[in-house]
Structure 1
Amino acid sequence: MIEVNKALEDYILGHSENEDQVLKDLNRETHVKMLRPRMLSGHLQGKFLKMICQMQNPKRVLEIGTYTGYSAISMAMGTSSDCEIHTIDCNDELESFTRKFFKQSGCEERIKFHIGEALDIIPKLKGEFDLVFIDADKRQYTEYYEAIMPLLKKGGFILADDVLWDGKVLEDIDPNDKQTQGILDFNKHVQDDERVENLMLPIRHGLMMIRKK
């Protein structure tokens, strides 16, 4: 497998569709104003999410882990005007920053922004979802997965980010490292789940594609 260094990443980005201006502005402001800006999905993953939406044409999307809104906007840009996108984040301090970019994107009316704990909010959501994107607390990935499974349509997809966790999944982990253990538990849980078919991709920090049978 080819190691993606900075030069190769630049080549990949140079031969992919240009970043939308509102996403470019969001990327820049997140890196200037926010702690842990590496949590942002970024150009390559954003385009991947957009194209997945264009291929699937979902009518209802759920995102767990909004952060500053890059992935939610990317998915909104890949969906039709009648698609409803629900996104959940527990950090209310990011709300005004994120809503500003939702508005600038022109997708504000279709994005339903929920502030609070995902495991409290998910059971209150009505209706089924065609697509779910998980990118939140790694310690709770398996709990998110089980909470959303009843709401996921047959043939629907879950995309889970960070499943390679910077390669830590291959290392001896500290017993106190609950984040890495959470990823390891989730990956095994999905692999053993006969309700789904799954594919792990080395995109960014690892992306798991999961289809409900």
Structure 2
Amino acid sequence: MELISPLIENYIAQFTSPEPIELAEVNKDTAAKHPLAHMISGHVQGQFLSMICAMLKPKYVLEIGTFTGYSALCMQRTLPIDGMIHTIEIRPEDADTAAENFSKLNANKQITLHVGNAKEIINQLPYQWDLVFIDADKTGYIDYYEMVVPLLAKDGIIIADNVLFHGQVLEEPLKGKNAKAVHAFNQHVQEDPRTEQVMLSIRDGLTIIKKK
């Protein structure tokens, strides 16, 4: 389902700050080589993540779902000098690609890559998170959310990606495990008395969540 006109998307991209050359190379390389290249955050969403980091000035960032490293690199661009991103990727081949991209862009001092199951790794990390970006398996979203809400710093926020899931969350009846999982996550967050949220129609949908 086409939620936003390509003309509008192109207009938005035109009036968003240009994609840095080094990030454009990661984007282009992913598009050329990865069969699931549509999963990359891309120019506009990447700039949004950079802006969020510039505003929050987070010291500790958790990313659940590294893919080829593009979104982590977008956040690292505006990270404070003492800031650190911990990013988790379950697929070894994607983790290898991300590691190469981090190395090429000299981002290793601020990005730590963990390979494995996020549900096992998150509780091993001894931090309170100023920013959490969830962009992993959709059936795990509620579990990830429940794991990180107690670990948020005082003014920390969570950003969840793909909350519109290609428009499939609008279908009646819902079809497919991912659309059902995303819709269940959206309801779960809405009904959580601990937090408040706003859903944005950027790319495939983003929800920004903070503790009350």
TM-score band w.r.t. shorter chain: over 0.9
Counterpart of 2:174, as a letter, is I
Counterpart of 1:173, as a letter, is L
Maintained 8 Å contact 1:22/1:101 = no
Maintained 8 Å contact 1:153/1:212 = no
Maintained 8 Å contact 1:160/1:208 = yes
CA offset digits 1:15-42 (Å, max 9, x no partner) = 1111111111111110111121000000
Q: Partner of 1:149 in structure 2?
A: 149
Structure 2: runs of 5 or more not aligned = none
Counterpart secondary structure, 1:108 = coil
Deviation of 1:98 (Å): 1.2
Q: Partner of 1:188 in structure 2?
A: 187
How far apart are the structure 2 equivalents of 1:8 and 1:180?
25
How far apart are the structure 1 equivalents of 2:183 and 2:4?
23
CA offset digits 1:89-133 (Å, max 9, x no partner) = 100112222111112223221101000000010111102010000
Aligned length: 209
- RMSD between superposed Cα atoms in Å: 1.1
Normalised by the size of structure 2, how large is the TM-score? Answer: 0.95
Trace 1:95-174 onto structure 2 (pairs within 5 A).
Answer: 95-171=95-171, 172-174=173-175
Q: Partner of 2:9 in structure 1?
A: 9
Percent of matched pairs sharing the same residue: 44
How far apart are the structure 2 equivalents of 1:127 and 1:157?
14
How far apart are the structure 2 equivalents of 1:151 and 1:85?
15
Counterpart of 2:63, as a letter, is E
Select between 202-211 and 4-13 the one with higher mean Cα deviation. Answer: 4-13
Ranges of 4+ aligned residues in structure 1 off by more than 6 Å: none
Structure 1: runs of 5 or more not aligned = none
Normalised by the size of structure 1, how large is the TM-score? Answer: 0.95
How far apart are the structure 1 equivalents of 2:9 and 2:15?
10
Select between 157-166 and 10-19 the one with higher mean Cα deviation. Answer: 10-19
